[in-house]
Structure 1
Amino acid sequence: MKRCLWAESDPLLRKYHDNEWCVPAYDDRYIFEMLTLEGAQAGLSWLTILKKREGYRAAFHNFDISCCANLTDEDLLDIKENHNVVRHISKLQSVRSNARAVTELQHEFGSFSDFLWEHAGHTPLMNSRKSDGEIPASTDLSMRLSKALKRRGFKFTGPVITYSFMQAIGMVDDHIETCSCHHDNRTM
Protein backbone atom coordinates (compact mmCIF):
# COMPACT_ATOMS: atom_id res chain seq x y z
CA MET A 1 0.00 0.00 0.00
CA LYS A 2 1.26 3.46 -0.88
CA ARG A 3 0.77 6.08 1.82
CA CYS A 4 1.35 9.73 2.51
CA LEU A 5 4.97 10.03 3.61
CA TRP A 6 4.14 11.27 7.14
CA ALA A 7 2.45 7.95 7.94
CA GLU A 8 5.26 5.59 7.01
CA SER A 9 7.48 5.77 10.11
CA ASP A 10 5.36 3.93 12.71
CA PRO A 11 2.59 1.28 12.84
CA LEU A 12 0.32 3.60 14.86
CA LEU A 13 0.66 6.32 12.23
CA ARG A 14 -0.03 3.83 9.44
CA LYS A 15 -3.13 2.48 11.18
CA TYR A 16 -4.47 5.99 11.83
CA HIS A 17 -3.69 7.09 8.25
CA ASP A 18 -5.28 4.03 6.65
CA ASN A 19 -8.44 3.92 8.76
CA GLU A 20 -9.25 7.37 10.12
CA TRP A 21 -7.38 10.30 8.59
CA CYS A 22 -9.55 12.25 6.14
CA VAL A 23 -12.47 9.84 6.54
CA PRO A 24 -15.71 11.83 6.98
CA ALA A 25 -16.98 11.54 10.57
CA TYR A 26 -20.35 12.64 11.90
CA ASP A 27 -20.47 11.09 15.37
CA ASP A 28 -20.21 13.82 18.02
CA ARG A 29 -18.32 11.62 20.47
CA TYR A 30 -15.66 10.71 17.91
CA ILE A 31 -15.44 14.30 16.68
CA PHE A 32 -14.97 15.46 20.27
CA GLU A 33 -12.21 12.87 20.68
CA MET A 34 -10.42 14.21 17.63
CA LEU A 35 -10.83 17.81 18.82
CA THR A 36 -9.33 16.86 22.18
CA LEU A 37 -6.42 14.93 20.68
CA GLU A 38 -5.62 17.64 18.13
CA GLY A 39 -5.60 20.25 20.90
CA ALA A 40 -3.34 18.04 23.01
CA GLN A 41 -0.92 17.79 20.09
CA ALA A 42 -0.07 21.51 20.11
CA GLY A 43 3.72 21.62 20.27
CA LEU A 44 4.04 17.82 20.16
CA SER A 45 4.12 15.12 17.50
CA TRP A 46 0.99 13.29 16.40
CA LEU A 47 2.74 10.00 17.21
CA THR A 48 3.15 11.12 20.83
CA ILE A 49 -0.60 11.72 21.02
CA LEU A 50 -1.51 8.42 19.36
CA LYS A 51 0.64 6.62 21.93
CA LYS A 52 -1.38 8.34 24.68
CA ARG A 53 -4.78 7.84 23.02
CA GLU A 54 -5.84 4.93 25.24
CA GLY A 55 -4.83 6.96 28.29
CA TYR A 56 -7.07 9.77 27.09
CA ARG A 57 -9.93 7.37 26.50
CA ALA A 58 -9.62 5.98 30.02
CA ALA A 59 -9.21 9.41 31.64
CA PHE A 60 -12.11 11.04 29.79
CA HIS A 61 -14.67 8.21 29.91
CA ASN A 62 -14.19 7.34 26.22
CA PHE A 63 -14.82 11.02 25.45
CA ASP A 64 -18.33 11.03 26.85
CA ILE A 65 -19.19 14.68 26.31
CA SER A 66 -21.52 14.96 29.31
CA CYS A 67 -18.98 13.37 31.67
CA CYS A 68 -16.24 15.64 30.37
CA ALA A 69 -18.41 18.74 30.76
CA ASN A 70 -18.95 17.87 34.42
CA LEU A 71 -15.34 17.20 35.40
CA THR A 72 -14.24 19.05 38.51
CA ASP A 73 -10.90 20.74 39.08
CA GLU A 74 -10.05 17.80 41.36
CA ASP A 75 -10.93 15.35 38.59
CA LEU A 76 -8.62 17.17 36.19
CA LEU A 77 -5.76 17.15 38.69
CA ASP A 78 -6.29 13.43 39.22
CA ILE A 79 -6.18 12.88 35.45
CA LYS A 80 -2.99 14.94 35.23
CA GLU A 81 -1.29 12.89 37.93
CA ASN A 82 -2.65 9.39 37.29
CA HIS A 83 -3.31 8.94 33.57
CA ASN A 84 -1.14 8.61 30.49
CA VAL A 85 -2.04 12.01 29.03
CA VAL A 86 -0.18 15.20 28.21
CA ARG A 87 0.17 16.78 31.64
CA HIS A 88 -0.43 20.36 30.54
CA ILE A 89 -3.18 21.64 32.84
CA SER A 90 -4.56 24.17 30.34
CA LYS A 91 -4.93 21.42 27.74
CA LEU A 92 -6.71 19.22 30.28
CA GLN A 93 -8.99 22.08 31.33
CA SER A 94 -9.82 22.64 27.67
CA VAL A 95 -11.39 19.19 27.54
CA ARG A 96 -13.97 20.34 30.09
CA SER A 97 -14.57 23.76 28.55
CA ASN A 98 -14.75 22.32 25.04
CA ALA A 99 -17.23 19.66 26.19
CA ARG A 100 -19.40 22.42 27.62
CA ALA A 101 -19.17 24.36 24.34
CA VAL A 102 -20.06 21.20 22.38
CA THR A 103 -23.13 20.71 24.60
CA GLU A 104 -24.29 24.24 23.82
CA LEU A 105 -23.83 23.67 20.08
CA GLN A 106 -25.75 20.40 20.29
CA HIS A 107 -28.69 22.25 21.81
CA GLU A 108 -28.52 24.98 19.18
CA PHE A 109 -27.74 22.95 16.03
CA GLY A 110 -28.88 19.44 16.95
CA SER A 111 -25.30 18.14 16.89
CA PHE A 112 -21.71 19.32 16.99
CA SER A 113 -21.29 17.58 13.67
CA ASP A 114 -23.99 19.68 11.99
CA PHE A 115 -22.36 22.90 13.21
CA LEU A 116 -18.94 21.87 11.89
CA TRP A 117 -20.01 20.39 8.58
CA GLU A 118 -22.09 23.48 7.78
CA HIS A 119 -18.78 25.33 7.44
CA ALA A 120 -17.72 22.95 4.65
CA GLY A 121 -21.08 23.00 2.88
CA HIS A 122 -21.78 19.49 4.26
CA THR A 123 -19.31 18.05 1.74
CA PRO A 124 -15.70 16.94 2.25
CA LEU A 125 -13.20 19.19 0.51
CA MET A 126 -11.19 16.92 -1.80
CA ASN A 127 -7.69 18.15 -2.50
CA SER A 128 -5.11 16.83 -4.93
CA ARG A 129 -1.63 17.36 -3.60
CA LYS A 130 1.48 15.89 -5.20
CA SER A 131 3.47 15.71 -1.95
CA ASP A 132 3.07 16.08 1.80
CA GLY A 133 4.97 19.35 1.48
CA GLU A 134 2.07 20.88 -0.46
CA ILE A 135 -0.36 20.38 2.43
CA PRO A 136 -0.86 23.77 4.11
CA ALA A 137 -0.70 24.29 7.86
CA SER A 138 -3.93 26.30 7.69
CA THR A 139 -6.40 27.65 5.14
CA ASP A 140 -8.95 30.42 4.92
CA LEU A 141 -11.61 27.90 5.95
CA SER A 142 -9.63 26.72 8.99
CA MET A 143 -9.16 30.36 9.99
CA ARG A 144 -12.91 31.04 9.73
CA LEU A 145 -13.81 27.85 11.60
CA SER A 146 -11.19 28.60 14.26
CA LYS A 147 -12.73 32.03 14.83
CA ALA A 148 -16.22 30.51 15.00
CA LEU A 149 -15.08 27.94 17.56
CA LYS A 150 -13.26 30.52 19.67
CA ARG A 151 -16.30 32.82 19.65
CA ARG A 152 -18.22 29.93 21.18
CA GLY A 153 -15.66 29.38 23.93
CA PHE A 154 -13.50 26.62 22.49
CA LYS A 155 -9.85 26.42 23.55
CA PHE A 156 -6.84 25.09 21.63
CA THR A 157 -8.57 25.71 18.32
CA GLY A 158 -6.21 28.01 16.47
CA PRO A 159 -6.18 27.86 12.66
CA VAL A 160 -3.39 25.25 12.47
CA ILE A 161 -4.97 22.94 15.05
CA THR A 162 -8.34 23.47 13.39
CA TYR A 163 -6.96 22.47 9.99
CA SER A 164 -5.50 19.27 11.45
CA PHE A 165 -8.85 18.66 13.14
CA MET A 166 -10.65 19.15 9.83
CA GLN A 167 -8.38 16.50 8.29
CA ALA A 168 -8.94 14.21 11.28
CA ILE A 169 -12.71 14.24 10.83
CA GLY A 170 -12.64 14.15 7.04
CA MET A 171 -13.90 17.66 6.35
CA VAL A 172 -10.72 17.93 4.28
CA ASP A 173 -9.16 15.07 2.31
CA ASP A 174 -5.45 15.75 1.92
CA HIS A 175 -4.14 12.32 0.91
CA ILE A 176 -1.46 12.89 -1.72
CA GLU A 177 -2.16 11.76 -5.27
CA THR A 178 0.08 8.68 -5.08
CA CYS A 179 -1.46 7.48 -1.79
CA SER A 180 -3.76 4.47 -1.97
CA CYS A 181 -6.24 6.41 0.20
CA HIS A 182 -6.43 9.38 -2.18
CA HIS A 183 -10.03 9.75 -3.34
CA ASP A 184 -9.12 8.96 -6.96
CA ASN A 185 -7.36 5.74 -5.93
CA ARG A 186 -9.94 4.20 -3.59
CA THR A 187 -11.52 1.01 -4.82
CA MET A 188 -14.45 1.05 -2.40
Structure 2
Amino acid sequence: MKKIRCNWSEKDDLYRKYHDEEWGKPVYDDATIFEFLLLESFQAGLSWYTILKKRENFKSAFDNYDYKKIAKYQQEKIDDLMTDSGIIRNKLKILATINNAQKFQEVQKEFGTFSKYIWKFVGGKPIINHPKTLQEVPATTEISDLISKDLKKRGFKFLGSTVVYAHMQATGLVNDHLESCFAK
Protein backbone atom coordinates (compact mmCIF):
# COMPACT_ATOMS: atom_id res chain seq x y z
CA MET A 1 0.00 0.00 0.00
CA LYS A 2 1.31 3.46 -0.92
CA LYS A 3 2.27 5.79 1.92
CA ILE A 4 0.19 8.94 2.06
CA ARG A 5 2.47 11.94 2.52
CA CYS A 6 2.09 15.68 2.65
CA ASN A 7 1.53 16.42 -1.03
CA TRP A 8 4.40 18.96 -1.25
CA SER A 9 6.85 16.09 -0.75
CA GLU A 10 5.79 14.03 -3.76
CA LYS A 11 8.02 15.93 -6.21
CA ASP A 12 10.73 13.23 -6.24
CA ASP A 13 12.70 10.80 -4.06
CA LEU A 14 14.89 13.56 -2.57
CA TYR A 15 11.83 15.39 -1.27
CA ARG A 16 10.16 12.18 -0.09
CA LYS A 17 13.29 11.13 1.84
CA TYR A 18 13.56 14.56 3.48
CA HIS A 19 9.86 14.52 4.37
CA ASP A 20 9.91 10.96 5.71
CA GLU A 21 13.16 11.12 7.67
CA GLU A 22 13.67 14.72 8.80
CA TRP A 23 10.89 17.27 8.37
CA GLY A 24 8.97 17.84 11.58
CA LYS A 25 11.16 15.53 13.67
CA PRO A 26 12.52 17.20 16.84
CA VAL A 27 16.20 18.15 16.69
CA TYR A 28 18.05 18.94 19.91
CA ASP A 29 21.62 18.69 18.60
CA ASP A 30 23.29 22.09 18.15
CA ALA A 31 25.28 20.99 15.10
CA THR A 32 22.13 19.92 13.24
CA ILE A 33 20.22 23.00 14.39
CA PHE A 34 23.02 25.16 12.95
CA GLU A 35 23.02 23.18 9.70
CA PHE A 36 19.34 24.01 9.24
CA LEU A 37 19.88 27.66 10.22
CA LEU A 38 22.54 27.89 7.52
CA LEU A 39 20.42 26.12 4.90
CA GLU A 40 17.25 28.04 5.75
CA SER A 41 19.05 31.39 5.58
CA PHE A 42 20.34 30.50 2.10
CA GLN A 43 16.82 29.44 1.15
CA ALA A 44 15.42 32.94 1.72
CA GLY A 45 13.83 33.95 -1.59
CA LEU A 46 14.46 30.53 -3.16
CA SER A 47 12.77 27.15 -3.08
CA TRP A 48 13.64 24.60 -0.41
CA TYR A 49 14.04 22.08 -3.21
CA THR A 50 16.90 24.16 -4.66
CA ILE A 51 18.64 24.07 -1.28
CA LEU A 52 18.04 20.35 -0.74
CA LYS A 53 19.59 19.56 -4.12
CA LYS A 54 22.69 21.53 -3.10
CA ARG A 55 22.79 20.31 0.51
CA GLU A 56 25.84 18.06 0.08
CA ASN A 57 27.66 20.87 -1.75
CA PHE A 58 26.88 23.24 1.14
CA LYS A 59 28.16 20.63 3.58
CA SER A 60 31.45 20.36 1.73
CA ALA A 61 31.84 24.10 1.11
CA PHE A 62 31.03 25.01 4.72
CA ASP A 63 33.30 22.51 6.50
CA ASN A 64 30.54 20.03 7.42
CA TYR A 65 28.49 22.92 8.85
CA ASP A 66 31.07 23.36 11.62
CA TYR A 67 29.97 26.68 13.09
CA LYS A 68 33.24 27.04 15.05
CA LYS A 69 35.22 26.97 11.80
CA ILE A 70 32.68 29.05 9.90
CA ALA A 71 32.83 31.78 12.57
CA LYS A 72 36.53 32.24 11.76
CA TYR A 73 36.24 32.44 7.96
CA GLN A 74 38.41 35.15 6.43
CA GLN A 75 38.33 36.89 3.05
CA GLU A 76 40.16 34.09 1.24
CA LYS A 77 37.47 31.59 2.23
CA ILE A 78 34.72 34.06 1.29
CA ASP A 79 36.35 34.44 -2.14
CA ASP A 80 36.46 30.63 -2.51
CA LEU A 81 32.78 30.35 -1.60
CA MET A 82 31.88 33.05 -4.12
CA THR A 83 33.39 30.91 -6.90
CA ASP A 84 31.76 27.64 -5.77
CA SER A 85 29.02 26.85 -8.28
CA GLY A 86 27.73 24.05 -6.04
CA ILE A 87 26.22 26.51 -3.57
CA ILE A 88 24.18 29.70 -3.72
CA ARG A 89 26.82 32.37 -4.38
CA ASN A 90 25.25 35.27 -2.56
CA LYS A 91 27.85 37.34 -0.74
CA LEU A 92 25.37 38.81 1.73
CA LYS A 93 24.17 35.32 2.69
CA ILE A 94 27.75 34.04 2.99
CA LEU A 95 28.66 36.97 5.24
CA ALA A 96 25.45 36.43 7.23
CA THR A 97 26.40 32.76 7.73
CA ILE A 98 29.76 33.74 9.19
CA ASN A 99 28.08 36.32 11.41
CA ASN A 100 25.39 33.83 12.46
CA ALA A 101 28.02 31.24 13.38
CA GLN A 102 29.60 33.82 15.70
CA LYS A 103 26.23 34.78 17.21
CA PHE A 104 25.29 31.10 17.54
CA GLN A 105 28.29 30.60 19.83
CA GLU A 106 27.35 33.66 21.87
CA VAL A 107 23.90 32.14 22.46
CA GLN A 108 25.55 28.86 23.45
CA LYS A 109 27.65 30.69 26.04
CA GLU A 110 24.57 32.35 27.46
CA PHE A 111 22.24 29.32 27.53
CA GLY A 112 24.64 26.36 27.60
CA THR A 113 23.38 25.16 24.21
CA PHE A 114 21.59 26.80 21.32
CA SER A 115 19.05 24.02 21.62
CA LYS A 116 18.03 25.17 25.12
CA TYR A 117 17.62 28.70 23.79
CA ILE A 118 15.48 27.83 20.74
CA TRP A 119 13.34 25.16 22.42
CA LYS A 120 12.37 27.53 25.25
CA PHE A 121 10.19 29.40 22.75
CA VAL A 122 7.91 26.34 22.45
CA GLY A 123 8.10 25.25 26.08
CA GLY A 124 10.59 22.47 25.33
CA LYS A 125 8.21 20.33 23.28
CA PRO A 126 6.99 20.39 19.68
CA ILE A 127 3.86 22.27 18.72
CA ILE A 128 1.67 19.74 16.95
CA ASN A 129 -0.64 21.35 14.44
CA HIS A 130 -3.43 19.49 12.68
CA PRO A 131 -3.67 20.98 9.19
CA LYS A 132 -5.95 19.20 6.77
CA THR A 133 -4.60 21.07 3.71
CA LEU A 134 -1.39 22.89 2.80
CA GLN A 135 -3.39 26.13 2.73
CA GLU A 136 -3.88 25.77 6.51
CA VAL A 137 -0.11 25.72 7.12
CA PRO A 138 1.06 29.24 7.97
CA ALA A 139 4.19 30.93 6.64
CA THR A 140 4.73 32.67 9.99
CA THR A 141 3.29 32.58 13.50
CA GLU A 142 3.49 34.74 16.60
CA ILE A 143 6.23 32.43 17.86
CA SER A 144 8.30 32.66 14.66
CA ASP A 145 7.85 36.45 14.85
CA LEU A 146 9.11 36.39 18.44
CA ILE A 147 12.11 34.14 17.66
CA SER A 148 13.03 36.19 14.60
CA LYS A 149 12.84 39.42 16.57
CA ASP A 150 15.00 37.96 19.35
CA LEU A 151 17.56 36.58 16.89
CA LYS A 152 17.72 39.95 15.14
CA LYS A 153 18.23 41.67 18.52
CA ARG A 154 21.13 39.26 19.10
CA GLY A 155 22.67 40.24 15.75
CA PHE A 156 21.61 37.31 13.53
CA LYS A 157 20.95 38.04 9.85
CA PHE A 158 18.71 36.55 7.10
CA LEU A 159 16.45 34.98 9.70
CA GLY A 160 13.14 36.75 9.26
CA SER A 161 9.92 35.24 10.54
CA THR A 162 9.21 33.18 7.38
CA VAL A 163 12.72 31.68 7.42
CA VAL A 164 12.43 31.03 11.16
CA TYR A 165 9.09 29.27 10.73
CA ALA A 166 10.59 27.04 8.03
CA HIS A 167 13.44 26.31 10.45
CA MET A 168 10.92 25.44 13.15
CA GLN A 169 9.29 22.96 10.76
CA ALA A 170 12.63 21.50 9.66
CA THR A 171 13.82 20.94 13.23
CA GLY A 172 10.53 19.76 14.68
CA LEU A 173 9.77 22.70 16.94
CA VAL A 174 6.51 22.56 15.04
CA ASN A 175 4.92 19.58 13.32
CA ASP A 176 2.86 20.65 10.32
CA HIS A 177 2.39 17.23 8.72
CA LEU A 178 -1.08 17.06 7.24
CA GLU A 179 -3.68 15.00 9.10
CA SER A 180 -3.71 12.52 6.21
CA CYS A 181 0.09 12.05 6.30
CA PHE A 182 1.59 8.84 7.66
CA ALA A 183 4.31 10.89 9.42
CA LYS A 184 1.77 12.81 11.52
- The alignment's TM-score, normalised by the length of structure 1, stands at 0.95
Offset of 1:133 from its aligned partner? 1.2
**Equivalent runs, 1:124-143 vs 2, <5 Å:** 124-143=126-145
Are 1:56 and 1:83, in contact at CA under 8 Å, matched by a contact in 2?
Answer: no
* Distance of 1:93 and 1:51 partners within structure 2: 22
Offset of 1:65 from its aligned partner? 1.1
* Distance of 2:165 and 2:84 partners within structure 1: 31
Are 1:59 and 1:83, in contact at CA under 8 Å, matched by a contact in 2?
Answer: no
Offset of 1:147 from its aligned partner? 0.3
Are 1:129 and 1:177, in contact at CA under 8 Å, matched by a contact in 2?
Answer: yes
Q: Would you say 1:164 and 2:175 are equivalent positions? A: no
Equivalent AA in structure 2 for residue 175 of structure 1: H
Are 1:4 and 1:176, in contact at CA under 8 Å, matched by a contact in 2?
Answer: yes
Give the match for residue 67 of structure 2: 65
Q: Would you say 1:145 and 2:179 are equivalent positions? A: no
Equivalent AA in structure 2 for residue 97 of structure 1: N
* Distance of 1:133 and 1:73 partners within structure 2: 43
Offset of 1:73 from its aligned partner? 2.1
Offset of 1:83 from its aligned partner? 4.9
Offset of 1:79 from its aligned partner? 1.2
Give the match for residue 88 of structure 1: 90
Equivalent AA in structure 1 for residue 108 of structure 2: Q
Give the match for residue 99 of structure 1: 101
Match of 1:36 among 32, 35, 38: 38
* Distance of 1:105 and 1:35 partners within structure 2: 14
1:127-160 deviation line (CA, Å, top 9, x unaligned): 0000111100000000000001111111111010
Equivalent AA in structure 1 for residue 177 of structure 2: H
Give the match for residue 121 of structure 2: 119
1:28-51 deviation line (CA, Å, top 9, x unaligned): 111001011111111111110001
SS of equivalent to 1:71: coil
Equivalent AA in structure 2 for residue 135 of structure 1: V
Equivalent AA in structure 2 for residue 120 of structure 1: V
Offset of 1:11 from its aligned partner? 1.2
SS of equivalent to 1:94: helix
* Distance of 1:10 and 1:61 partners within structure 2: 28
SS of equivalent to 1:119: helix
SS of equivalent to 1:8: helix
Offset of 1:77 from its aligned partner? 1.6
Equivalent AA in structure 1 for residue 84 of structure 2: N
- The alignment's TM-score, normalised by the length of structure 2, stands at 0.97
Equivalent AA in structure 1 for residue 9 of structure 2: A
Structure 1: runs of 5+ lacking an equivalent: 183-188
Percent identity between matched residues is 46
